[in-house]
Amino acid sequence: MTASTTTAVRFEIPAMDCAEEFRVIAQAVNELPGVENPRADYLSRVLTVDLDADHATQDMVADRLRDVGFPAIDPASANGSGSTATAFNPLFSRKAAIIAGTVLLALAFFAWLASLSSLAWCLGVASTLVSGWHVGLAAWKSARFSRIDMNTLMVIAASGAIALGEYFEAAVAMLLFGVSIWLESYSVGRAKKAVASLVGLMPQRARVIKKPSSDSGVQSRQPTLGGLVDEDMDDVDCLHVHKGDVIVVRPGERIAADGKVIDGSGSVDQSSITGESKPAAKTVGDGVFAGTLNGEAPLLVRATSCAHDSTLAGVAKLVDQARSSTSPTERFVDRFARIYTPSIIALACLIGVVAPIMISLLWAQPLGVHFATWFHRGLVLLVIACPCALVISTPVTIVCGLHEATRNGILVKGGDFLELAGQADSMIVDKTGTITEGRPTVSDVWCASGVTKEELLACAAALEMHSEHPLAVAIKSAANAAGVEQVAASEVTTIVGGGVVGKWNEQPAAIGNASLFENLAWTGCEDIKSYYAEVAEQTDGRSGTNAGSLLLVATESRPLGALLVTDVPREGAKAAVLEWRELGIKSIQMLSGDQPSVVEQVASQVGIDDAIGGLLPAEKFESLREMRAKGSRVIIIGDGVNDSPALAAADVGIAIENNVSDLALQSADVVLLAPRLGKVSDLIRLSRRTHQILWQNIAFAIGIKLFVLVLAAMGLATMWMAIVADVGASLLVIFNGMRVLTNKAGSSSRNRIV
């Protein structure tokens, strides 16, 4: 199968909560033709598979899941369709079993107090059967498929305890096991609510301005807020908002689609997307996100995407994908669990069966003298063999960390990148659009002899007509301001890291830096390069605040002039660099395709000592390889096409969502949804906090298990004590993992401009 022929299909499986169960499920569905790449989200208890519709159907997968004892509810494909199945609700059925089992156990206790031994035995066994009814059913399904899980171990342990006459212990253990499953489901439900889906931020309805019919005779014009009445608008489902539609957003309403303001001004609460608590001022021409909350004034917004292509929808999709990925620590825990469970079962067999036989043989005593004691110890060890607390400790913590990052406007595409961010010791940053604002302006114009400013700007704007690069936008803005008529050049070719070449007024023309003209075999190249050197000498002598990108404009035969395009550092960039150093980032390097003098100038303004300019994408990539070859873990921050190869190859590639290129967005591992460099510091702190809590959970889970294991081997633990320890460990790691959501790691970003 290939990615183009498959569809991601999701199945909600209430009974799946650990890696042991997922392995059984994965083995079962992988046997089906046309089903590949199963992946689990333990927190949401969702299984995702790649399904080839030509060979398999959702119903086939659902039937297989039901056969192996893990029925799914509401299987839904990526396009939102799906069948409705009968809901499988283990919470209610287990709750009823717990209540009935508790009543029977209480009656058994009173019968024992009344010296009614036979009745007490019957009531105790009945309590065990009722409390363990669903456990027994699950164990039976496991036996049918030749697998051993925690349900099987519990049935063996309870049966053995009853055989030894310990019916009270069997009843208490089974009852506590039922309570543990119910509590774990409840706790996971709390965690799911804490990291609720972003889809809930989307409004259900939108007011779209009616489009005039083609035969109405009404001339198409830019709509405005003035004079609008209800009859001018259609109330539609948000899913029916299309690109180009004009939406009326009233105060206090959520915006239905990504778009640009075409009339009105006010403030918009973008905290759901960017994590910034302060409302952002919006006026005509400003972009807005779907799902954000309009403030005190009405806005007229032209949609630039439909609902399923919005930034919010993309964030929700990527968060969902990230939750299905596994971090390095999760992979370690899964490998450990594969060894842990069979090892403890083997140890239980040694202690419960082999040990009494060996003692009987060595000391020549009857087997029955020690068998009951040692067999009971082995049964207790079987209860300890379940690794659920250990396995659930990692996904709960990682998922909470991913959602906390998203809540702060930091989109992390997987748990592995969340972990690696806090381990980085080196950083590479781009200049334009990353350290600087990315909104440069043409500050100086030099015209060659016999060339007017208008002619120079006309040629430059023509070559850059179809480019959205920040430098191109600045040039086109300067041409507009000068009243120059702009006609696009033909045969335009972009030279990455150099500039643009095309045909203007029927002759070859180009705009770019020095490296561009060194590689052009034009008749007037010597004159062009000589002119460039003269202008460059003038700019090098200017003050640092005026340093910028020097772009030469020329035709094939002669230079037309030069433009100095300047860009200022972002507000808070210097503070962010200082903060990175305080967080232990030892090496911070600025790499840029801009002129070396400009790059060095900007770097000195923000406190970066190591800066290299004039680099091509391949050279940036090579610098990264050299840094990683020295053993460094590298974070790269960029926003342009030039940064994409390095972003993809870095330990953690971070793109800034501010005129960021689509290629950089796809290549990056982390996306900052607001152009705030201080959010990189928040990511590092959150990563380290998540990593710390992650290993706390692992230590808790393993430590409690080992403690009870030692007590069991010494005969000082009972089955109910082992289950209490297992329940306590599970609840402890879940609630400790949810501490990531308290936002201590990233709280500073909501109240600052860095």
Among all residues, which ones are annotated catalytic?
430
- Rounded CA gap, 548 and 600, in Å? 11
**Backbone dihedral region for residue 104 (phi beyond 0: left; psi -120 to 50: alpha; all else: beta):** alpha
Instruction: Tell me the angle at which helices 678-713 and 328-349 cross, rounded to the nearest 10 degrees.
Output: 0
Q: Provide CB contacts within 8 A for 488, sequence distance 6+.
A: 462, 465, 466
Q: Provide CB contacts within 8 A for 468, sequence distance 6+.
A: 659
- Rounded CA gap, 427 and 98, in Å? 55
Instruction: Tell me the angle at which helices 678-713 and 573-582 cross, rounded to the nearest 10 degrees.
Output: 30
The letter for the amino acid at 322 is: A
- Rounded CA gap, 505 and 451, in Å? 14
Q: For tokens 């950089």, what's the residue?
A: 664
Chain centre to alpha carbon of residue 565:
36
Residue 75 parent element (H or E): strand 73-77
Q: Provide CB contacts within 8 A for 518, sequence distance 6+.
A: 529
Q: Residue 577 corresponds to which tokens in the numbers above?
A: 């660099």
The letter for the amino acid at 199 is: V
Residue 421's nearest CA partner among 753, 746, 43 is 746
Q: Rounded to 5 degrees, what angle do the CA atoms 501, 502, 507 make?
A: 120
Length, in residues, of the chain:
754
Give the E-state strand segments of 410-543 in sequence order. 410-412, 426-429, 441-447, 490-495, 499-504, 507-512
- Rounded CA gap, 308 and 258, in Å? 10
513 with 550: CB under 8 angstroms? yes
- Rounded CA gap, 476 and 486, in Å? 8
- Rounded CA gap, 451 and 445, in Å? 12
Q: Residue 102 corresponds to which tokens in the numbers above?
A: 């508790």
- Rounded CA gap, 549 and 511, in Å? 12
**DSSP structural state of residue 185:** H
CB-based burial, 280-305: b 16+ in 10 Å, e otherwise: bebeeeeebbbbbbbbeebbbbbbbb
H helices present in 286-327, as ranges: 311-324
Cα separation of the two ends of the chain? 46
Residue 6's nearest CA partner among 44, 45, 61, 46 is 61
SS3 percent helix, strand, coil of the chain, rounded to 5, is 55, 15, 30
